Structure 1
């Protein structure tokens, strides 16, 4: 979203705008914004010095999305709850301690309160029946209201780096929950000791250009001097700050503990002796022909990935992608790890259907002493896989003779494959969490389809 200026607002250049973004040291809400009341839908005031919103904010009667991150709010403004069309509220990295019940708008779908000082939520949040996405990492929550069991549309929950003594039982049975991050709470402090991995000295790396950047860190290409030769590698330097998923060091621990698997990016070593004491991982450099399967969810799609308009997959390649990712997920759960962000945008793939699952920013360790919780957590991730499988099916191109060729319509043909994939997807998406298959069964079904 492009940055606007206060001058543009005051001179009327933004008249008729649907969205505006102002980050210019504001300490008071600019009254000129109300001139846009008949058109404004998205208002981003992040990165200012605000601590309050005006009582007449509901005059912005078309406002759907409000961002006020990186400001000085100590309380979620109650006036927000009076904005009838408001669906998405983002107040990340403020100093918020209080969340009044009155601050929850009736149409709330997406609430971001990451990196604040919130110790409790009002029980009235259980009345937010449209809520799909709840981001609370980096607060001081000790419990979640039992009334939230009524939030049956919740699909993504981030509660990492809080003070929770246990995972609420009701959370494990939410019918649509798919993406859950909870690392860094007291109940999971006894995570497995990370696997041994070789230290790689900073002086043995020649860092070159940047390959990418995410919430938790920056990835560079580098040359690693090992033995008498050199090897091209990818170096991920962690930022150390709180992300929407949790703490980057939890991500690093999960990456190392995950170990080796054909559909995970190999970790070659852990960075040592960085001059600024930064944490980092040295990983295998993936061939440049690999690309992201999808883009992350948009403001409108909320919890679902966005694919390029031209995206399509050969049916057999789609099956190979699904099989590889299910196999990686099975491996992770065997190591006691919930990926927490099993999405197309965290998958790299090649043209032949080879796939790699990455980005462990939302990964959490399963409580080692509770197999029932471990199984429930796996079945939550199975629903995330059902969303991926649904997307792959929607974009898969069957054989051109799909409707007419008897061979393809018969055993092992495209029609039968699609029917079996549709049946598997429906089973993985069941609202009864306990009825969903585990990844071992999913891998078996997909493996048989690959051989058909």
Structure 2
């Protein structure tokens, strides 16, 4: 819900915990300080702000603050003064400078996507509670080595920057599970599949939109010459919180065919707005999302509907399917980067499809980093297993079998990344269940 400045000034919002204002603000409204006793979430996205007054530090109860699509050029130092502030978002501003010692002590979720940042402060290494860090679409040339001290970091997006090298310490962080690093000079370029067929835009009749993601729109369409319905994904072309749409498109093609991947049938050519697009198999409406994206409270972990219930056989079928597709991806040097239940479609017989390559990165399978890159994703996989195992009721599984699952999860998330097993070994273990 978006509030009005008039309602704020009149006093009718006194007592609110969440405030959202989007009304062309050029200066911070001091009237917000009237909410000093209760305000926890402040969203001033879609304004024209360039700085924050020191007086904002009076809002001591603030936990979450958003300034997406404003005109900040420098990360505000005053934010370090907030004792319980844990989530900060400055997506799509003009930030060039992030000074030293600007982060609050409880920071665990930082969003600086789509800015002009060239360098991160060394003091980011002091953010011991940092779990989620979105840095895609900047001009960062290197990550400060002090960031190796962020031992609770679980998700990082560093795609579409100017990294000259990808540091080894990144893939040694004990809890890292979801990482996107494509679109950098240091990342391996996605091989161009010149044999992949393109089809004329005029050969498709768009019916209804099926969904919208960060990178594009998916619509149901009729393929006129083939007389069949398919799905078409048209990419927006802008950098997303995960990376570059062209990388997603290239990796979707490079992933190849697999029973648990949505089949890519071809590319679109001659789009009237010169946009890129993929033609994909139309998925039956009997498939639904296995989970829902993380919320403010869970940060890095998916949330599930109360109606989501599985038995042991269904868990095993899902586990084998996703391990199999991940094994294929990593054999091709593809890191999915967003291995989550909310990116998996499942039907009533537990057949599942992994989708959304928006955070995927391509890497050299013969590189020194390859072993650890796969094992970082293995940790994401075991988070998925743990979540779905939690949806299996006790009377649906013996204690002995549940202990087997818990041992697999524990073995795949050991602190020493290189000691974890890979996806092919995971499949071998699952054959014994």
Q: Give me the TM-score of the superposition, normalised by structure 1.
A: 0.94
Question: Could you say which residue in structure 2 is the equivalent of 1:408?
Answer: none
Question: Does structure 2 retain, via aligned residues, the 8 Å contact 1:428–1:437?
Answer: yes
Question: Could you say which residue in structure 2 is the equivalent of 1:380?
Answer: 376
Question: Could you say which residue in structure 2 is the equivalent of 1:420?
Answer: 404
State the Cα deviation string for residues 59-103 of structure 1 (Å, max 9, x = none): 001000010010000000000111111100000111101101232
Greater shift in the superposed pair: 351-360 or 305-314: 305-314
Matched, 1:394 2:390: yes
Question: Could you say which residue in structure 2 is the equivalent of 1:79?
Answer: 78
Structure 2 distance, partners of 1:399, 1:290, is 26
Question: Does structure 2 retain, via aligned residues, the 8 Å contact 1:348–1:357?
Answer: yes
Matched, 1:272 2:256: no
Instruction: Describe the shift of the 1:45–1:431 C-alpha distance in structure 2 as closer, same or farther (beyond 3 A).
Output: same
Question: Does structure 1 retain, via aligned residues, the 8 Å contact 2:340–2:380?
Answer: yes
Question: Does structure 2 retain, via aligned residues, the 8 Å contact 1:63–1:85?
Answer: yes
State the Cα deviation string for residues 175-194 of structure 1 (Å, max 9, x = none): 00000000000012533233
Selected match of 2:360 from 352, 360, 363? 363
Question: Does structure 2 retain, via aligned residues, the 8 Å contact 1:255–1:360?
Answer: yes
Matched, 1:236 2:220: no
RMSD: 1.2
Question: Does structure 2 retain, via aligned residues, the 8 Å contact 1:109–1:130?
Answer: yes
Residues 41-440 of structure 1: pairs in structure 2 closer than 5 A: 41-194=40-193, 196-226=195-225, 229-370=226-367, 372-397=368-393, 399=395, 414-440=398-424
Question: Does structure 1 retain, via aligned residues, the 8 Å contact 2:223–2:229?
Answer: yes
Structure 2 distance, partners of 1:274, 1:221, is 16
Structure 1 distance, partners of 2:415, 2:306, is 30
SS in 2 for 1:102: coil
**Aligned residues between the structures:** 433
Question: Does structure 1 retain, via aligned residues, the 8 Å contact 2:188–2:363?
Answer: no
Structure 2 distance, partners of 1:41, 1:388, is 30
Structure 2 distance, partners of 1:447, 1:221, is 38
Q: Give me the TM-score of the superposition, normalised by structure 2.
A: 0.98
State the Cα deviation string for residues 12-49 of structure 1 (Å, max 9, x = none): 22111111111110001111110101110000001000
Structure 2 distance, partners of 1:190, 1:219, is 26
The alpha carbon displacement at 1:8 in A equals 1.4
Question: Does structure 2 retain, via aligned residues, the 8 Å contact 1:149–1:174?
Answer: yes
The alpha carbon displacement at 1:121 in A equals 0.8
Instruction: Describe the shift of the 1:438–1:56 C-alpha distance in structure 2 as closer, same or farther (beyond 3 A).
Output: same
Structure 2 distance, partners of 1:389, 1:196, is 37
The alpha carbon displacement at 1:225 in A equals 2.3
Structure 1 gaps of 5+ residues are 403-413
SS in 2 for 1:66: strand
State the Cα deviation string for residues 343-366 of structure 1 (Å, max 9, x = none): 000000011111110000000001
Question: Could you say which residue in structure 2 is the equivalent of 1:11?
Answer: 10
Structure 1 distance, partners of 2:384, 2:366, is 30
**Aligned structure 1 segments of 4 or more residues deviating by more than 6 angstroms:** none
The alpha carbon displacement at 1:198 in A equals 1.4
